Every structure is written in C-alpha cells, then in structure tokens.
A and B are shown apart, each in its own frame.
Chain A
Amino acid sequence: MTKILTIAWKELYTTYTDRSLLLIMIVTPLALATIIGSAFSGFFGSGGDLPIRDIDVAIVNLDQGTETLNNGDVFVSVLVPPADASPETLLDNPLYELTNAVELSDADAARAAVDEGTYPAAIIIPADFSEKVSYGQNDPIQPVAIEVYASSASPVSASVIRTLAESIANQIATGNVTVQATIDAMIARAQTDPAFGLRFLSASNNDAFNPDFTPAFDPANNPLTIEQQTVTGESAITFNPLVVFGSAQAVFFMMFTALGGANSLLEERRDGTFQRQIVTPTPRIVLLLGKFLGVFLNCVIQVAFLCLALTVVGSLLEGRINFIWGNNLFLVALVVITVALASSGIGTIVAALVKTPEQGNIIGGVISLAFGVLGGAFFSVDGIPGIREFRVITPNYWGVDAFTKLAQGDQNIGLNLLVMVGIGVVFFALGVIIFNRRLNV
C-alpha cells in the first residue's frame, strides 16, 4: 500500500508542479465556464437576479369541461394572451412576459416538438381536468395530473414551467372551491333567513343574480405572481446556469486529464521510468494501481477544485454567497468521485489498448472531444436525433446530469452514480488486466 501511495503522490506532485498543465486543467475550464455561464445568465447586466423571460411553451388543452365551465380554457387563458390583447393587457400580466405560450391541439405533436428542441416544455391538460377539480357538496376535488413534458437540455426553463403549471392548477382548484363555497353559503343563509331567501330566489329567477367569480381565477389575486416565475434570489428556484456550463466544462477537461494521465504510463514506458519501476521488487499490479490511483486523484482534485472555484465565481457575480451545487454536499462529493472514477476508467482502457503515447494522445483527444460534444460541453444535443441517444455512453452526460439535478434540489441520482461507478470499475479493471498482459511479453 505504501508503494501505491508513493506512486500516486509522485503523480500528483508532477502534475501540480507543472504550470502549463495547471493552466489546462484548472484555469481554462474555469474561465470558459464563467464566461459562458455569465453570458447565459445575464450576470453582467442585471445585478444578482437571473432574469428569465419569453420561455417557449406549448399548451395542449384536452379538457372536456363540465356543464358550466371548462377549467382547461381558464388554464390556457392564464398563459396565452387573447388575440386582440392590447399592449397594456400584455404588460399587466407578467406571465405573458415570462412565457411565449402557444396553444396546440395534438399532445403527441407537442411532445415531438419538445423532443426536437422547438419548445423546452409542453403542458398537456387532461380531458378530465375540469371534472376532477370541480367542487361540490357531494363532489370533492380529486387528484389530477397535468403533464409537463420537459427537455432536460433546458433545465431552467423546464423547472419554471413545471412550477408554473402546478401553481396555475392549484389556483384553479382554489377558485372552484371559493365559488362553490360562496354559493353554498348563500343557499344556507336563504334556508335560515326567509327574507334573504325570497330576494335570492327572485333575483335568480329574473337573472338579476349574476355574481362575478372571475377574481377567484384571476392570477392577479392569488400567490401565482412573478415571484414564483422568475429565478430571483428570494424565489423558490435558485438554479444557477453556472452549474450546467461549469460542470460540463469541468468534466470535459477532466476527461483530458484522465486520458492524458493514463497515457503518461505509455510515456513512462517510452522514457524507461516505468521499466525502472518494474525492476524494483514491486509487483506489477502495485505499479499499475499506484499509477491509476494518481490519475483518479488528479481528476477528483480537478473537479472538486472547479466546483469550489465556480461557487466562488457565482457568489462574486451574484454578490452573495451561494453554493450553486445544491444543498447535499455529500451527494455532490459522490458525483465528483464517481465521475472521476468513470473518466479514469476510460483513460485506463484507452492507455491499455493503444501502442504509443502519440496514438494515445490522438485517440484520447478525439474521445475527449466526442464525449464533450455528447455531454453538452459546447451545446445541447437533446434536440439532435441520432446523436442524443449516444450521450448516455459518456460519463460527461451522467455527471453533468447529476450535478444539475442536485443543484435543482433533486436528489434522485442513484442511476447516475451507478452508471458512472460501473463505467469506472469495468474499464479500470479491464485496462489494468490488458496492460499487465501486454507488459508480460
């Protein structure tokens, strides 16, 4: 074990005393992530807030309605302005500014449009929406699911739409309760107050009773305000785009580190330092484990450092301390370790299969770039059929996805961790076996 640690320490020491290597490993991804993240989040021009507006969203209203009301129409009217809406009307409703909602008639077409990247999300209102949310004395509100079909390529927009849909649905249900409760109260009073009952009956018969319940459904009169619809410092959504761009850049550059580090074993063979270790009384497996432990630790340190540095950058730009990676530090650490393991594993297998350091550099560079593209380091491939399916083979995708989920408060990253550990362990073991076999000529 001492020898393994000695080799790993040598690996770390030679890496972190090499200024040009540090520039590539740390400074470049940090700068790129900061620039891209800042540009997308508008940090430079809007203080601490992250203004989100004009989110494209498709709405499909399949609601059949009840005898008296179609709550689906109410839902749509909250987001889609009337065709003849005046500029004042548009300005009065902040939701019209927040979204560019378009009503479609076909749910499948809406989902396909999201798949193609036309919309970040689609809201599909079910046929029984009104039936389920209507309230009566013998007709309680029932659970109903509004489908929000969202693209993971646009996590911020999808998150906003998801929250928005939930809030609107709740408000409609609340409005229904309010209307019904009002009518119930009037009927109850009529039964106990004959004079009121006669006036109520008379008014109802001559259509003079025409209460205006619109305010019960008016977004202006409920908690569904801009506060819930923008990613401002005080709102429920605190997701920072630096997470996506930062983690994508971090994993992308870490892949270079992993492949380059593993490839350095071939350089050591060429330079004779590895042979010099072989002639010491040290089993070969110890030499290989030490080497690859060093590569793995390099990756862990690189990503961990970038996570911290991006937090500092994000905090400085926002003007307040903000750990952008979510609240679960333990899970963040697990993602860092597993994504480093997966990348080290890939580096190991590549180093085991190529013949020369030069080959390793070329193939490693191609793999890093390809994985970077698939993993979203440059742009999202979610809307590119034929390519997006391959992103799941990259640790980049699983790592960035896990970081993004955690930053959004979603701790459901078990599959991400499992896949990354699997990639790491399998490729690492295979790489060590193959390399050892090739040494044993």
Chain B
Amino acid sequence: MQQDMVQVRDLAKSFKRQNGEAFFAVKGVSFNIGKGEIFSLLGPNGAGKTTTISMISGLLTPSRGEATIGGSSIITQPLQAKKLLGVVPQEIALYLSLSARQNLEFFGKMYSLGGAELKKRVDEVLDLIDLTERQHDKVETFSGGMKRRVNIGVGLLHRPQLIYMDEPTVGIDPQNRRRVLDTVLRLRQEMGMTVLYTSHLMEEVQEISDRVAIIDHGEIIALGTVSELIQKIGEEDRLIFNVGMQTVPDALLNKIISDTTGVSKATFERHEATEGAISDSLEIGTGQILVYAKRGRSALPHIIQITNEAGIDVYSVQVREPDLEAVFLSLTGRALRD
C-alpha cells in the first residue's frame, strides 16, 4: 500500500470580516497525498485552494483540524514538517535586485544549507532550470518565464520530499508553460517527489495529475482520478451553440431533449462574463444553447435542424469532450473561470 506523504484532516480556517463577522474560507477539508503522487487542487479563484495550502505550509494557523507532512504535524512540529516541504508560490517571490545565484544561495541558507553542499545544489538547480548562463544576472533583468523558473528553482533547492506549486504557470507564455509542466513531471519521475499542485486551469491539471480534488467555496466537492471524476457526469459531450442576441424559448429546449437521441439536458444562457476559451469570442449579452449528450457529434446535425426549424440561427458550434471543466460545471452549475 502506498504511504501517505500528506494527511489532511478536517482542516478549516476562519477569518473575520470588517464588520466582525466570522466566515470560513476553508470549511474542513480532508485528503491524503501518497508519496510520489501528483495531487492537484482545482477550483476557481477564491475557492480556498491557497488558504488550504497556506495552512499546510505553515503560513496560516488552522482554526481547526490537523495536517501532517511525512508524519510531522504542521502544528506541533512545524520545523520538521517544513524541512520536507518545498514551496513555489504563485507570485514571483524573489529579490529582484539579487542575481539568480544570490537568490538561490540566500534561500538555500534559510534551509540550513551551506559551504560546498550549497554550491553544489545551486549549480544543480541552475542546470535544471536552464539558467546557468544567466546565473549572475539580476533577476529584475529576466523575462517572466525566466523569473518563474528561478521561482521554481528556489523551491527545489533543498531537495524536498513534497513540493507545493501554487498556480506556477500563471502569466507565462505557452513555451514556458510547457517547460514548467515538464519540470513537474520530471520531479516526480526522476526524483520521486510528491507534488501538490493548485491551478484553475483544468487542462494542465488534467494533463499532469494522478488525482484531483475539486474545491469550491472552501469545500472539496469531488476527489479522485481524472477519469473517476469524469465518470461522475456520465461522460457526456457538451455542445455549445452560439445564437447571438436571439432568445431561445423553453419549448425549443424541450424539443431538443425529447427529439434527439442521447441528449440529457439542454439549457440557454446569456453570456455575461468571460467564460474561458469556449466563449471568449462572444460579446456580452449574446446567448448560447448548452446541450449535454452522449455521442454529441452524432446528435449535432439533428439539433441544428431543430433550431433552424424554430427560426433560430446558429452562428457557431463547439463540441467539448468530457473534462474537468464539465465536471465542475456539472457539480456547481458554474464554469471554473466564473
């Protein structure tokens, strides 16, 4: 049986609002992460991902519950627990006026590394993040992607058993994003590290994760492998019909459901805010028909025929295979990026 690197039990955190009223940002989450596992926390901004991780990494004191890293309690043995943990924060938490090497050396010393060992580790990390050539340049002269790599390098310096990465691909170009994801996979494959990964980008979570916990409003609403989670919504395709400013009557939606084989659900939505890639091209106020169907591509011609007969023009169509986005939408009624 796989040993657990992280055990989280009923971890909760409350804050006080300005009016003195307490509210729970995290409402008692529990999960385990096995050694060598890539475990992702997926959820929209403000869902409680960072608060959960902040408690695990010792930045925040839990209001209740407990977490252990490698068997050491974050509450009663924080220094032991922290020795096993490497952190890659979402922001570029580096001293910009120092060079890449100086940053690595400084944080290495904070992990009690020194002398020849520190030099060796710094050289290794510089090689890993491919910045040996620029090691003596100030970080402020680096591109966003290079800064992000140094940010990751600092977290790896002391060879932690568990590395936590908080949205490490935010704000970087696709090439550097690919590089970061490859690094995550290498850490597990070559060094056997356990990775705790948070993101609101379901594509990358889906690609690298062994298991995923979907978190929303401070609670874990689903936990399992990607395929386990997709099975929860019955592996239906999602068909998105852009109908512009036209209004779709409920009668048409009912007709789509009753007359089309495999369709389980049809809804109409006005686009009110950016909803990620699937509808970024839509203008505010435009509408779309969402249809959930098994074998969606087969049902597509018939649905278009029904809408045309009802006098509704379809401007564009997208077919989305089942994914974590759909899981989240199915579980919460909202898109991940809402």
B82/A279 in contact, CB under 8 A = yes
The contact string, 1 if C-beta is below 8 Å from chain A, for chain B 113-143, is: 0100000000000000000000000000000
| B122 to A: closest C-beta gap in Å | 14
Chain A residues in the interface with B (C-beta under 8 A) = 2-3, 6, 10, 13-14, 17-18, 271-273, 275-283, 440-441
Expressed in whole angstroms, the Cα–Cα distance for A44 and B94 within the complex equals 49
Chain A nearest CB from B269 CB (Å) reads 37
Q: Beyond the given A10-B106, A273-B93, A280-B110, could you list 15 further A-B residue pairs with CB under 8 A, ordered by the A residue number?
A: A10-B95, A17-B97, A18-B97, A272-B92, A275-B59, A276-B154, A277-B110, A279-B59, A279-B82, A280-B107, A281-B80, A281-B112, A282-B79, A282-B110, A441-B61
What residues of A have a CB within 8 angstroms of the CB of B109 in the complex? 2-3, 6
A13 CB contacts on chain B under 8 angstroms: 98, 102
The reply to whether the CB of B89 lies closer than 8 angstroms to some CB of chain A is yes
Is the pair A271, B91 in contact by a Cβ cutoff of 8 Å? yes
Asked if B111 lies at the interface with its beta carbon under 8 angstroms from chain A, I say: yes
Q: Which residues of A contact B82 (CB under 8 A)?
A: 279-281
Please tell me if B310 contacts chain A, counting CB pairs below 8 Å: no
Within 8 A of A (CB), among B141-166: 154
**Contact residues in A for B98 (Cβ distance below 8 Å):** 10, 13-14
Interface residue B209 (Cβ < 8 Å from any Cβ of A): no
Q: How far is the CA of A395 from the CA of B111 in the complex (A)?
A: 37
In order of increasing CB-CB distance, the 6 nearest A-B pairs are A272-B93, A280-B110, A281-B82, A276-B93, A281-B79, A272-B91
Query: Is there contact, CB below 8 Å, between A6 and B106?
Result: yes
CA distance A279 to B85 in the complex (A): 8
Chain B residues near A283 (CB-CB < 8 A): 79
**Which residues in B have some Cβ–Cβ distance to A below 8 Å?**
15, 57-61, 78-80, 82-83, 85, 87, 89, 91-95, 97-98, 102, 106-107, 109-112, 114, 154
Q: Which residues of B contact A278 (CB under 8 A)?
A: 58-59
Most buried by A among B57, B61, B106: B106
Q: Please, which residues of chain B bring their CB within 8 A of the CB of A17?
A: 97
Cross-chain pairs A/B with CB under 8 angstroms, 21 sampled = A2-B114, A6-B106, A6-B109, A6-B110, A13-B102, A271-B93, A272-B92, A272-B93, A273-B93, A275-B93, A276-B107, A277-B110, A278-B58, A279-B58, A279-B59, A280-B82, A281-B79, A281-B82, A281-B112, A440-B61, A441-B61
A273 to B82, CA, bound (A): 16
Separation of A3 and B79 alpha carbons in the complex (Å)? 14
B95: contacting residue among A2, A273, A441, CB under 8 A: A273
Contact status of A14 and B110, CB under 8 A, knowing A279-B57, A279-B59, A281-B82: no
- The answer to whether A280 and B111 touch across the interface, beta carbons within 8 angstroms, is yes
Q: Which residues of A contact B111 (CB under 8 A)?
A: 280-281
Q: With A and B bound together, what is the CA distance between A440 and B61 in angstroms? A: 7
Is there an interface contact between B94 and A273, defined as CB atoms closer than 8 Å? yes
Complex: A137 Cα to B83 Cα, angstroms: 91
Q: How far, in whole Å, are A276 and B95 apart by their CA atoms in the complex?
A: 11
CB distance from A20 to the nearest CB of B (A): 11
> How far apart are A194's CB and chain B's nearest CB, in angstroms?
100
What is the CA–CA distance of A94 and B102 in the complex, to the nearest angstrom? 66
A6 to B111 Cα, complex, angstroms? 11
- Residues from chain B with Cβ under 8 Å of A275 in the complex: 59, 89, 93
Q: Which of B60, B94, B154 contacts A441 (CB under 8 A)?
A: B60
| B residues near A279, Cβ cutoff 8 Å | 57-59, 82, 85, 87
Instruction: State the CA gap A279–B55 with chains docked (Å).
Output: 10
A6 to B89, CA, bound (A): 22
> Which A residues touch B85, using CB under 8 A?
279
Chain A nearest CB from B115 CB (Å) reads 11
A260 to chain B, nearest CB (A): 15
Could you tell me the distance in whole angstroms from the C-beta of A2 to the nearest C-beta in chain B?
A: 7
Q: How far is the CA of A440 from the CA of B94 in the complex (A)?
A: 22
Least Cβ–Cβ distance between B108 and chain A, in angstroms: 10
- In the complex, what residue of chain B is closest to A290 when comparing beta carbons? B110
Q: How far is the CA of A283 from the CA of B80 in the complex (A)?
A: 11
B154 surroundings in chain A (CB, below 8 A): 276
Q: How far is the CA of A277 from the CA of B87 in the complex (A)?
A: 10
A6: B residues at CB distance < 8 A: 106, 109-110
- Are A272 and B110 in contact, CB atoms less than 8 angstroms apart? no
What's the nearest-Cβ distance from chain A to residue B99, in Å? Answer: 10
- CB-based contact B97/A3 at 8 Å: no
Q: A277 to chain B: which residues have CB within 8 Å? A: 107, 110
Closest chain A residue, CB of each to CB of B105: A6
Give chain A residues whose Cβ lies under 8 Å from the Cβ of B102.
13
State the CA gap A276–B79 with chains docked (Å): 14
Chain B residues with Cβ under 8 A from A10's Cβ? 95, 98, 106
